[in-house]
Amino acid sequence: MNIENLAFYWSTLFVRSLFEEGITEVVISPGSRSTALTLAFSAHPGFESTVAIDERSASFIALGKSKALGIPAVLVCTSGTALANYAPAVFEAASSATPLIIASADRPPHLRNIGASQTIDQIKIFGEQPVFFHEAGEPSSDIQKQHRIEVAAKQAVERSLADAGVSHINFAFNKPFEPENDFLKQIQEENESHSKRSQTDYSQAVGETELGEKFWSQLISAERPLIVAGTTTVWDKTRFIAPLARILSAPVVAEPGSNLSNSKYIISGYSGFLKTKENRETLKPDLILRIGRFPVSKGLQLLLKDCADVHQISFAHPRFPNDGDIPTNRTIYLKNELSIPDINGNASSKWLSEWRKTSKKFKAFLEEHVQPSSPLTDGYIFEQANKLIPKKSFIMLSNSFPVRDLALFSDFSGKEIYVNRGAAGIDGIISTSIGLSSVLKKPGVLFIGDIAFLHDLNALLSAKKVEYPLIIIVLNNDGGTIFRMLPIYKFKQKHHDFFETPQDVRITSLCRGFGVDHTLISKPEQFIPAFEGSIEKPGAHVIECITDADDSMIERHQLWNFTLDS
């Protein structure tokens, strides 16, 4: 084969093999060394290609796509620090069971460690985080080596899915990178005539997990059972939760991102009323079943801590324990949905009604204390937005206060919610939302603070490509107010300068510079018409809400101090 065509053909074999395995999404950041990979993906009609020039943003766009699909999207970048910029998303994917494939271009071995430009050590650059790594070597016309690159693609997909994580293939390319024009056209025509993939099925194995009589006896003997669901992933088996709650008459406390099917057993308002010790004592269970990540809610964490003497059972993925700092008594690894025998629980109807009564009283207390006012509060925005968000839409929550405030200020039962709670950073939140929007193809709403918004500002380069309505609600409370929950807050000046770090930035000017629609909200009566005017319009829309940090904290503390006598 002509040397000019070898790198491109090598990459084509890899791309075709990925397609055969069912992969369809690729996010590409432009670069010279990765030219062959970029052209190979662009020449295949089976791939939806997204171009994002900022590699960190690109990696989180791919993360969002993978979350929505349940199968890995592919990332393509050039050599050097371009690959290093993927690190935050790699750690998030590895910690949240999100499948992802990285195809990085690199200098060939003879150009490494001699001072060649744009060269770093890319071999296992992410350490033990990926579940699969393969150094592809230089393109070759040898049939066995070509077969190996096809196998590498299959391995990358299989391991990413089976082990719920990141696969990384490192490609060593020497010049020339570009194929002859006629050969590029030939490959593209071949791809177009063979664009139907084989029937690769990545659905989970059919069947159910059965547990013994001792396990079920323990469950049905409980008089005050409680089910706690943290953030779940595509790997978590959750369909059994609703029928199990019905059989046991167990209240279900489901955090944002658990995405359990809506039922009358799900309890809202827990993030507020469980902060009070008196309420936790009244609602103390005698058995706790846990699924998903360790809870974010401080109230739930306190309840689990208070229940150190209560038997706790968790359902978890083998690679993702969910004990947090409060170990369970038993962990069950479900490979399939749980098979529930013909049983009846022993809980009194008063147990569930006690939770419902508390939830109902808290809701009334919330409505009384979260009122339209000037200045605006974070709580008012969450309460109003939750009422306005269409049923057939998705929600993305930034970390820090947004992931906590939705649970505190609204009943989000039945909503489709996404969070990056693996590594739980504020990296790439806008980018993740853009990735979700591109795959889910329906309206979306992102709640994000001003610091996290600025942290992912380059995502707005890709926001103009968003096709479906995506409302980005920026809670601009002038800094990182999450630190007000911590002891450092008592050192007022140090807290202000080194932790809360207010930013004097005109977000409206930034949006205008990126060509993204922006609306500024400073009064309660402005929010509803702004939201309703954007949720039906295609594209990304930033609604910046100027909220007061002090009043917002007062509102939170009022809800955290709720008791049944309030």
Q: Are residues 340 and 400 in the same domain?
A: no
Beta carbons of 51 and 421 less than 8 angstroms apart: no
Q: Is residue 46 part of a domain?
A: yes
Can you give the pLDDT at residue 205?
46
Contact 59, 90 (CB under 8 A): yes
Q: Do 278 and 390 sit in the same domain of this protein?
A: no
Least confident range from 72-86, 323-337, 541-555: namely: 323-337
Average pLDDT of the residues in 476-503: 85
Strand arrangement of the beta sheet that strand 470-476 belongs to? 416-419, 394-397, 444-449, 470-476, 540-546, 517-521
- Is residue 53 scored above 60 in pLDDT? yes
- What is the spatial distance between Cα 220 and Cα 276, in angstroms, rounded to a whole number? 29
**Mind giving me the DSSP string for 217-247?**
HHHHT-SSEEEEE----TTS--TTHHHHHHH
**pLDDT tens-digit series, residues 349-396:** 899 999 999 999 999 999 998 988 888 999 999 999 999 999 999 999
Q: Return the CATH number at 339.
A: 3.40.50.1220
Q: Which of residues 350, 378, 409 is at a domain's end?
A: 350
Instruction: Please tell me the predicted confidence (pLDDT) of residue 113.
Output: 81
For residue range 119-151, list pLDDT tens digits in order.
889 999 999 999 999 999 999 999 999 999 999
Cα separation of 411 and 425, whole Å?
25
Structure tokens at 173: 């390319």
Do 545 and 461 have their domain in common?
yes
Q: Please tell me the distance from the alpha carbon of residue 215 to that of residue 243, in angstroms, as a whole number.
A: 17
pLDDT at residue 194 in the model: 75
Q: Which residue has the tokens 């079943």?
A: 289
Report yes or no on 363 lying in a domain.
Answer: no
| 278 vs 288: CA distance, rounded Å | 19
Cβ-count burial of 332 within 10 angstroms (0-12 exposed, 13-18 middle, 19+ buried)?
A: middle
325 and 399 housed in the same domain: no
Burial of 56 (0-12, 13-18, 19+ CB in 10 A): buried
Q: In the predicted model, is pLDDT for residue 554 greater than 50?
A: yes
Residue 82, Cα to own-chain centre: how many angstroms? 22
332 against 116, higher pLDDT: 332
Cα–Cα distance measured from residue 516 to residue 69, given in angstroms and rounded to the nearest whole number:
26
pLDDT at 319: 72
Q: Is residue 340 part of a domain?
A: yes
pLDDT at res. 196? 59
Same domain for 453 and 529? yes
- Host H or E run for residue 23: none
Cα distance between residue 397 and residue 80, in whole Å: 32
Q: Tell me, yes or no, whether 248 and 175 share the same domain.
A: no
For residue 68, CA distances in Å to 65, 155, 246, 395, 451 come to 5, 22, 29, 12, 25
Determine, yes or no, domain membership for 358. no
Of the candidates 123, 134, 135, the residue with the CA atom closest to the CA atom of residue 157: 134
Per-residue pLDDT at 200 exceeds 60: no
Max CA pair span of the chain: 82
Write down the pLDDT at residue 83: 97
What residues contact 8, with CB distance under 8 A and at least 6 apart?
A: 36, 39, 40, 177, 178, 179, 183, 184, 187
In a domain, 276, yes or no: yes
Among candidate residues 350, 380, 398, the one where a domain is terminated: 350
pLDDT band at 272 (very low <50, low <70, confident <90, very high): very high
Contact yes or no for 223/251 (Cβ under 8 A): no
Tell me the per-residue pLDDT of 146-169, one tens digit each, with 9 for 90 and over. 999 999 999 999 999 988 899 999
| 161, 318, 343, 401, 474 from 314: Cα distances, Å | 22, 11, 20, 26, 35
- Give the pTM: 0.91
Per-residue confidence (pLDDT) for residue 204, from 0 to 100: 43
Give a three-class secondary structure readout of 98-150: CCEEEEEEECCHHHCCCCCCCCCCCCCCCCCCCCEEEEEECCCCCHHHHHHHH
Q: Where is the domain boundary, 193, 227, 254?
A: 193
Q: Both 503 and 377 in a single domain?
A: yes
Q: Are residues 139 and 273 in the same domain?
A: no
Band (210; pLDDT cuts 50, 70, 90): confident
| CA-to-CA separations, 162 to 71, 193, 300, 425, in angstroms, rounded | 10, 31, 31, 25
Task: Note the pLDDT of residue 236.
Answer: 85
Terminal-to-terminal C-alpha distance of the chain: 80
In this prediction, residue 207 carries a pLDDT of 59
Q: What is the pLDDT of residue 320?
A: 75
Beta-strand ranges (E) seen in 413-527 are: 416-419, 444-449, 470-476, 517-521
> Could you read off the pLDDT of 279-337 as tens digits, one per residue?
999 999 999 999 999 999 999 999 999 999 999 999 987 777 788 888 888 888 887 88
Q: CB atoms < 10 A from the CB of 368, how many? A: 10
* 330 plus 385 within the same structural domain: no
Q: Which residues of 199-219 are buried (b: 16+ CB within 10 A; e: fewer)?
A: eeebeeeeeeeeeeeeeeeeb
Kindly state the helix (H) or strand (E) to which residue 314 belongs, with its residue range.
strand 311-316
Instruction: Give mean pLDDT, residues 32-50.
Output: 96
Q: Number of folded domains in the chain?
A: 3
Cα–Cα distance for residue pair 56/84, rounded to 1 Å:
9
pLDDT exceeds 90 at position 242: yes
Show the tokens assigned to 310: 């209560």
Two tokens, residue 208: 């159910």
304 and 430 in a single domain? The answer is no
- Average the pLDDT over each of 9-18, 202-211, 496-505 and give the range with the smallest value: 202-211
The boundaries of the domain holding residue 498 are 370-560
- Give the 3-state secondary structure of residue 394: strand
Is residue 228 one of the residues assigned to a domain? yes
pLDDT grade, residue 199 (50/70/90)?
very low
Domain annotation covers residue 199: no
Average pLDDT over residues 426-441: 97
Half-sphere exposure of 206 (CA within 13 A, CB side): 1
Q: Is residue 118 part of a domain?
A: yes
Amino acid at 83: L
Shared domain check, 290 and 178: no
**For residue 299, which of 322, 327, 277, 321 has the smallest C-alpha distance?**
277
* CATH assignment at residue 530: 3.40.50.970
| Burial group, residue 77, by CB count within 10 angstroms (0-12, 13-18, 19+) | buried
pLDDT at 195: 64
41: its two tokens: 């993906």
Residue in the block written with tokens 């018409």: 529
Measured CA to CA, the distance from residue 352 to residue 484 in angstroms comes to 34
Residues 117 and 181 in one domain: yes
- Residue 203 has what pLDDT? 46
Tell me what the mean pLDDT of segment 76-87 comes to: 96
